[in-house]
Structure 1
Amino acid sequence: MLTPTFSITQDSNYLTITIEAKFANVAETEIEYSELDFVFSSSPYFLRLHLPSRVIDNETGTAKYDSDNGAFTVTVPKARKGEYFEGLDMITQLLRPQQKGTARAMVEEIEGEGEREEGEEEEEEDELDTVGNELLVDQSQHEGKEESVVDEESREYGYGFGWRRRGVLLRLKDEIGKLIDLEDAENTKIEERKIMSALRDRRNFNGEHYVADTFDSDEMLEEILKWKMDERSEITQEDRERLKDLPNKKLPVLSSDDLYAVSLSLLDILFSCAYDQRINMGDISVESSWTFIRLSPSLSSLTRWRNGKEAVQAAARRAVTYPLYRTWNLVEKVMEDLKEIIKRGRPSIVHALCTIHSQLAVGGDFRYLLNELILTDLLLWVQSVDKSVLERLEKELEEIELSKSGTGLDLERLEMEAKMSMMRMDGGDGVIDSDDE
């Protein structure tokens, strides 16, 4: 069975569920809803939604089919009029049975097979149990290939979401080439990776390039600096297609330290997306997947951060080291964009992650592996993690002020030397002494 693309809007009394099903057998369509469940069945499509709050079948709901667009529009009455339903844009989460608990409890344990646990649906005692329970597993579900194991070795050398994966990069070492900056990712300790990443950046930093971008006039760069993000960030149709097809697998139960560290990885990953979005002025380019990886140490060096400032300073360092445009003014603009992405909340973050996920999937050079290791699980996690985790991240980010000195690249000295050189050239006979050559 196929999972159709869908979207949900709401007013004070009703949900409006739009389902795209161009090849549906309209005559055999079944729609039922009650309590926390909504079920749509119309061969070859099957959709079961697990709603965040209760609905009721009081015969005031409606269902219409638009044959021109191949779409069903279903209005569903809310059990409590005026109630606001949270998370209706979190597509993957709506396709999974709702979990109750704390921020920590809402992050689940990976199972190798990725299927729903046997008997999970038996707890529901409403009439929907008679419709399509056998199809519940079919609705989704790409299965995880590796079982996550938490052991001392993984705690010291792990990578991927929650730093619990081992062995994947070793098996593919000859194929993946330079996807990961680490020469021996399997045997590089987690704590050593950010140090190695910083050393690599300092070796690759080109002071002349930085100074030229900082002081030379460039019309395109001026336009990039003036560009403004869209006022609204929403889950797009392309995002919905991607989210509905994410695997149904359980994520590892994270300690409070791991939960915080995973949230910090959002910062440099989303920084890379904000940079790419700005230099392309809202578009995507063939270089976007390269930019996402190169500017994010969480992706390219499998790092783990201790705090938010550490994460964004590392991303800023890379932003003046690797891409085409390397100026501190641009870094500051990207930082503003990053804060705005986080401030706008979960839909904005999910949209940005979907953008990265989609480009890594088609970027070549085995970049899709970073989806399997990190991005897919991060997308699942961010849709379900307690909002307090994201609120804490937003608050910490707002208090961070980037500094040039924090990059460790002597940017202030380079700028001062360049200014002094230009002053000497502009004054008098413009002769530069031997110390300036």
Structure 2
Amino acid sequence: MSIAPVLLQESDPWGRCDKDTPKQQGQIMITPLFTVTQDDEFLYVSVKVSHVRFSASAIEMVVDSELFIFSLNPYYLRLRFPYPLIDDERATATFNSKESCVDVKLPKENRGQEFPDLDLAAKLLARKEEPGPQTASKPLIEELEISQNVEDKFQNVTADLAQEGESHDWELPQAVAEEPQTTIRYGFNNTYNTIVGVSLSNGNDINELGNPEAALPNDRIVERLIKENIKFDPEFYAADYIMHKHPSEDDDKDFAAALVWKSPVTRQFMAWYKEQSQASAESKQQVVPLSFTEQEQQRMLQLPRKSYLIDESYKPQLFVLILSVLFAYNYDMRENQGEHNIESVWTVGKLIPQFAFLDSQLFVPGESHNSILKSAVITGIRRALCYPLYRQYSIAIKAWNDVYYTLRSGKRVVMKCLLEARELFRYHDVYYVYDKIWLEDLCLWVLSDSVSEGSLRQVAHDLKKEIDALQKTEITFEKIDDTQSGDAMMVLDIEEIEAFADQSYAEYLAQN
């Protein structure tokens, strides 16, 4: 049976309420599901109000410039938009009984003005204390998590995509070594402590630090390098190399399928890029268009309400964390040809040095190549040749290229992948600690205006340069030289191992 929508307005377009505080004091208010779309003249807000007995008289709404408030016990929604709206006779609200939602039409103050990021529901949630766009160069107060009943807001600053993007300094600053601190901190913005140590008793075998609560940053690097050298098996790598180069029906690994498989993100970017190359200058887009699913919107809304004070010198470590997470996620996707399995959370965690060794620095400043970006690429490949079932250099390079296409696709695609990677950890009995100390904050930071489309685009270009310039001789491992007495060490690069494998295989064929 079709029921006509119920018109809410009569003489006054809006029911009136206090714009700062929910009317139902002392009650737990629920943030409803909602979507926002637009045309040249109006914003259209659709608020889901299922599981309540609808009453037009019980709804209270208000428009105050950029602020829109909707209240229907037990639902309460407060949104702040980047530009002002008007409360006049054109504003309407109707109840759609078939969809159990209230459809609200809000007139724009300036006809034709484009409101950005309306699909990012978490960015629209507003606090009453939130001022207008930030004018200071740096915030003075960092917000910690507050009640889920108090909505947050991110500044709506439109990214200037006409520019290629801000450049990044991938060199870490050098500092005089400090005495060990009383409390060792780690995780996002070096905020956390004791969490990983507690998880060890529950069987956290992603962690490889002997004492994660006492290891200083430089010590984490050294311990990581030593344990990667120990873990790397030249014979395992040589066997996988020959299996890939000379496949047979008896092989238990299908390297060809893993290499031919195309990431959905990469495939989408390629199709979009081809379209853009043929489009007119007026219709060209800067990023791949993407609409979040209702489930993804829910995941973003469930993020805590925080803001961060991030030092400029620390930002390269956060961008590298994005790269490391995306690399591990894409390597596992490629290894399993697009489907995660029961081992995926362990594989992804092991491939991320920030997880396994709490190492966000990746190299000791003043040593080696002095580029955290290059260190991230090399570290990702080293770990990919030590831990997964498929240990193949070509697969690692393919995964890094998938990361490049993810970044080039734009912030929404990056956010979508990070949310998917986060789901592997979020409800795990043991590994949830890595969501707590890294992924939860990382997703919230990427969602904020602190990460622009231009900055991700520039990181993508810098990453591509490193990938294309990388040589196999740069992927090295130190192993004990069995031909020497004592503890003599030798340095093996994977090009040497591949040459030895080719020679051994040729000798095998000659003998058979």
For Structure 1 versus Structure 2, the TM-score category normalised by the shorter chain is: 0.7 to 0.9
Q: Which residue number corresponds to residue 108 of structure 2?
A: 78
Letter in 2 for 1:207: P
Choose which of 189, 194, 200 in structure 2 pairs with 1:162.
Answer: 189
Relative distance call for 1:417 and 1:177 in structure 2 (3 A) is same
Q: Which residue number corresponds to residue 138 of structure 2?
A: 105
Choose which of 291, 295, 298 in structure 2 pairs with 1:238.
Answer: 295
Matched pairs, number: 396
| SS at 1:79 equivalent | coil
Between the aligned residues of both structures, percent identity stands at 26
- Establish whether residue 425 from structure 1 lines up as the match of residue 459 from structure 2: no
For the Cα contact (< 8 Å) 1:25–1:42, is it kept in 2? no
Structure 1 residue 55, shift from structure 2 partner = 2.6
Relative distance call for 1:225 and 1:172 in structure 2 (3 A) is closer
Structure 1 residue 102, shift from structure 2 partner = 7.3
Deviates more, 1:341-350 or 1:383-392: 383-392
For the Cα contact (< 8 Å) 1:263–1:389, is it kept in 2? no
Distance of 1:197 and 1:273 partners within structure 2: 20
Q: Which residue number corresponds to residue 402 of structure 2?
A: 337
- Establish whether residue 310 from structure 1 lines up as the match of residue 390 from structure 2: no
Structure 1 residue 20, shift from structure 2 partner = 3.0
Q: Which residue number corresponds to residue 257 of structure 2?
A: 223
Deviates more, 1:285-294 or 1:335-344: 285-294
How much is the aligned-residue C-alpha RMSD, in angstroms? Answer: 2.9
- Establish whether residue 175 from structure 1 lines up as the match of residue 206 from structure 2: no
Q: Which residue number corresponds to residue 441 of structure 2?
A: 377
Relative distance call for 1:30 and 1:212 in structure 2 (3 A) is farther
| SS at 1:399 equivalent | helix
Relative distance call for 1:256 and 1:220 in structure 2 (3 A) is same
Distance of 1:340 and 1:159 partners within structure 2: 30
User: For 1:135-174, what per-residue CA distance to the aligned partner results, in whole angstroms no more than 9, with x for missing partners?
Assistant: xx62469xxxxxxxxx996799420111132333345543
Letter in 2 for 1:255: D
Q: Flag structure 2 segments of 5+ consecutive residues without an equivalent.
A: 1-28, 153-177, 269-287, 362-370, 478-492
For the Cα contact (< 8 Å) 2:146–2:304, is it kept in 1? no
Q: Which residue number corresponds to residue 300 of structure 1?
A: 356
Relative distance call for 1:15 and 1:399 in structure 2 (3 A) is farther
User: For 1:402-433, what per-residue CA distance to the aligned partner results, in whole angstroms no more than 9, with x for missing partners?
Assistant: 4433332421111111112222333xxx229x
Q: Which residue number corresponds to residue 18 of structure 1?
A: 46
Choose which of 237, 250, 264 in structure 2 pairs with 1:210.
Answer: 237
| SS at 2:209 equivalent | coil
User: For 1:243-274, what per-residue CA distance to the aligned partner results, in whole angstroms no more than 9, with x for missing partners?
Assistant: 111111332x1211012222221110111112
Structure 1 residue 42, shift from structure 2 partner = 2.0
Q: Which residue number corresponds to residue 33 of structure 1?
A: 63
Distance of 1:5 and 1:308 partners within structure 2: 39
Letter in 1 for 2:335: I
For the Cα contact (< 8 Å) 1:48–1:95, is it kept in 2? yes
User: For 1:303-355, what per-residue CA distance to the aligned partner results, in whole angstroms no more than 9, with x for missing partners?
Assistant: 12352121122112111211111212211211111011111221112111111
**Bigger Rg, which one:** 2
Relative distance call for 1:103 and 1:314 in structure 2 (3 A) is farther
For the Cα contact (< 8 Å) 2:60–2:71, is it kept in 1? yes
Distance of 1:21 and 1:63 partners within structure 2: 13
| SS at 2:35 equivalent | strand
Structure 1 residue 189, shift from structure 2 partner = 0.9
Relative distance call for 1:156 and 1:327 in structure 2 (3 A) is farther
Distance of 1:212 and 1:298 partners within structure 2: 29
Structure with the higher fraction of residues in helix conformation? 1
For the Cα contact (< 8 Å) 1:160–1:373, is it kept in 2? yes
Deviates more, 1:86-95 or 1:258-267: 86-95
Letter in 1 for 2:379: A
Deviates more, 1:170-179 or 1:186-195: 170-179
- Establish whether residue 281 from structure 1 lines up as the match of residue 337 from structure 2: yes
Distance of 1:107 and 1:292 partners within structure 2: 36
For the Cα contact (< 8 Å) 1:5–1:244, is it kept in 2? no
For the Cα contact (< 8 Å) 2:151–2:305, is it kept in 1? yes
Letter in 1 for 2:48: E
For the Cα contact (< 8 Å) 2:206–2:350, is it kept in 1? no
Choose which of 39, 42, 56 in structure 1 pairs with 2:72.
Answer: 42
TM-score (norm 1): 0.81
Q: Flag structure 1 segments of 5+ consecutive residues without an equivalent.
A: 117-136, 142-150, 433-437
| SS at 1:185 equivalent | coil
Q: How does 1:400-415 map to 2 (within 5 A)?
A: 400-401=466-467, 402-409=470-477, 410-415=493-498
| SS at 1:304 equivalent | coil
For the Cα contact (< 8 Å) 2:422–2:439, is it kept in 1? yes
Choose which of 44, 47, 57 in structure 1 pairs with 2:87.
Answer: 57
Relative distance call for 1:155 and 1:376 in structure 2 (3 A) is farther
Choose which of 374, 399, 403 in structure 1 pairs with 2:465.
Answer: 399
For the Cα contact (< 8 Å) 2:35–2:46, is it kept in 1? yes
| SS at 1:240 equivalent | helix
Choose which of 323, 326, 329 in structure 2 pairs with 1:270.
Answer: 326
Relative distance call for 1:19 and 1:279 in structure 2 (3 A) is farther
| SS at 2:123 equivalent | helix
For the Cα contact (< 8 Å) 2:199–2:433, is it kept in 1? no
